Chains A and B, each alone.
Chain A
Amino acid sequence: MQKQLLLGDEAIAQGAIDAGLSGIYAYPGTPSTEITQYVIDSKEAKEKGIVATWTANEKTSAEAALGVSYAGKRAMVCMKHVGLNVAADAFINSSITGANGGIIFVVADDPSMHSSQNEQDSRFYGKFAMIPILEPADQQEAYDMVHHAFDLSEKYQIPVMLRITTRLAHSRAGVARKTSKEQNQLKLPDNLKQFILLPAIARKQYKTLLNNQPHFENEAENSQFNIYTDGKNKSMGIIACGLAYNYLMENYPDRNIPYPVLKVSQYPAPKKQIEKLYNECESILVLEEGYPLVEELLRGMLNHGKEIKGRLDGTIPRDGELNPVIVGTALGFKAPVIRDIPSLVSGRPPSLCKGCPHIDSFFGLNEALEKYGKGRVFSDIGCYTLGALAPYDAINTCVDMGASITMAKGAADAGLTPSVAVIGDSTFTHSGITGLLDAVNDKSNITVVILDNATTGMTGGQPSSAVGKIEDICKGIGVEEEHIRILKPLPKKHEENLKIFEEEIAYEGVSVIIPRRECIQTLNKRMRDKFKAKQKAEAAGK
């Protein structure tokens, strides 16, 4: 079969389709979005009856996937690294319930924070949950590992983590497919109490998890993805995890590395191979994308052993993603002589699109708040976070999904009034509703602006769970009807909208303003599709 050019994300998606997937769930988040999008768009997945859907948030995704596993079928749940914080409750506890049908948590980390608020390393979560972790070095491994992960998950009845980073997620390469597998039949767990984490049961299940640890280690030590290659020069041994292996190889175009190398792509870290490397070499260089997980394990607190080089001793920068030159320098190669960027080149940060409804909302809000002074707008995660930049300079916080409403409430509790929350429609249904309920119950003096562009914009326009429901949700949890105001953010309506902003900010209690206008990107796409459909119909009519 000819190789297909696939993004790392798409390789995982195709791998899942071919490995007998029954259900995939996600909330969009860069760099993980394209996994679920691929399955949703796949004709093949549709024909196979695979359920592929966007959910309200990562926690609901994870729990739905666990339900699929309970029913004996293969499930995948995908998220960006900070999405795992949202899904953590389900994730950690699923290691105690264990799996029935195979279940994979795909987590895409974003070192260097290309599109994120931190660069947390999900391998620590995997270690915390004490489950096997797979970390592919390239697109082909990403594809192959999905098959392996499902098998491993079903063999030990345990969820498995598949961890990737931005570069692999968003890089394309040729991938060869395996033969397609049938989906599992519906099959209840053998023990119908397996998923009841009452203390008496959880204690037993936890012991099972602990007893499985040596088996997981053994699997890693014998894994086809962990490869030990000997080398003559024992002055240094190299451990290269996941994607870091590619950067290592890039520095040896003939692929002949003089040092012994251990490629680590399956965890728990393979103790036997690491011990062999440590015993045979005078020092160890650890290359890993993310936090120094293996390096810390090797070093221990006191580091009384051999020299361990990596992110902790400064051989490699403590933060940010790796690249071939960082790794080359760590290997002792001279840094290349390079041209500088001419000083006239100025930064070009991302910005709100021309015609974006958020622009009009920010201009209205800014003007309404002028008399109160700066520093009272709590915002959230989405395109509108770009409201932090010039010329808007309209928001003061962005922490985690949903934090706008709850932080505004806390600030109001502390005496900062008026205090305003700015949140998108999709972020509101992701994690904003419970915070609004808190504010209503405490009659907090806040104004919540729910920017409703009817989509999840930043990740490319996925459907929003909030569409058509926002006013009813607000009413349902007790926001007074006369203080739920809908406006259309357009330049020509500025004066009218400004009045609404001013009135509701002045109101001492919970008020909600919903500026509602479709995202300019999804609108344009809809118009293009409509035009194409019309053309096609006309052509067919001829």
Chain B
Amino acid sequence: MKKDIILAGVGGQGILSIASIIGYAAVQTDLYLKQAEVHGMSQRGGDVQSNLRLSDKPIASDLIPHGKADMILSVEPMESLRYLPFLSPEGWLVTNTKPFINIPEYPAEEDIMAEIKKLPQHVALDAESIATKLGTVKAANIVMLGAASPFLGLDYDKLKEAISFFFGRKGKDLVDLNLKALEAGREFTRKNMN
């Protein structure tokens, strides 16, 4: 088993929390893991990514080679496209459709969607709306994680355990809400896998 995942977004959107949950589930599954993060200047509203590598064998490079990523998981639509050179020909692009606009020359949303739809394997969802319907927009990243879950190569129960672990301190309500968010994202992918 080997999964190379590029997590993408804008500094401050919380992609590292997604990485932590996947990481926890991977370690509980006795997988090897390497996770390269971006700290420093770019965290201030710039484009950020994290290279997350899971494998049942020791992992050499901290960076995913170009053309080898099994998935791009992005919490922002334009950012999902920035890392296309890393996606393998048969890789999945899973992205949120809600744009984060903090630059003047942000492209038209329909043009971004047209580029996303060119990819043979993609899932695009409005995670904010789904999360808001469940009770809080804050669960959008967990909706995205749920949407990516069928491609992670991890046992779904392990992911649920990881969510319980991470939100456990904040009470049962928040755990349940995030488990629902996870399921909602997963359900979306099941229904909309192209």
Contacts and interface: CB of A to CB of B under 8 A. Distances in A.
Interface string B19-62: 00001000100001111111111111111000100000001111
Interface string B86-127: 110100000000000011111100011001000000000000
Interface stretch (A97-105, A166-174, A178-186, A462-470): A166-174
Contact of A346 (B64, B67, B103): B103
B37 A246 contact: no
Contacts of A337: 67, 89
A405 B27 CA distance: 50
A338 B86 CA distance: 7
Contacts of B78: 344-346, 348
Contacts, number: 148
Interface in A317-342: 323-325, 328, 335-342
B34 A341 contact: no
A331 B11 CA distance: 35
Given A324-B65, A336-B66, A346-B105, A170 B39 contact: yes
Nearest to B76: A348
Interface stretch (A38-46, A67-75, A350-358): A350-358
A400 interface: no
A188 interface: no
B61 A114 contact: no
A252 to B, nearest CB: 9
Interface in A33-76: 33-34
Interface residues of B, number: 49
Contacts of B67: 336-338
Contact of A336 (B10, B27, B65, B105): B65
B63 A341 contact: no
A338 B87 CA distance: 8
Contacts of A353: 44-45
A495 B64 CA distance: 52
A73 B166 CA distance: 39
29 contacts: A3-B27, A5-B33, A7-B37, A31-B40, A114-B38, A114-B41, A115-B42, A170-B37, A246-B61, A248-B60, A249-B60, A323-B65, A325-B65, A328-B65, A336-B65, A336-B67, A339-B87, A344-B107, A344-B111, A348-B47, A348-B78, A348-B103, A349-B46, A350-B41, A350-B42, A350-B43, A353-B44, A383-B44, A459-B40
Interface of B: 10-11, 23, 27, 32-47, 51, 59-68, 78-79, 81-82, 84-87, 89, 102-107, 111-112, 115
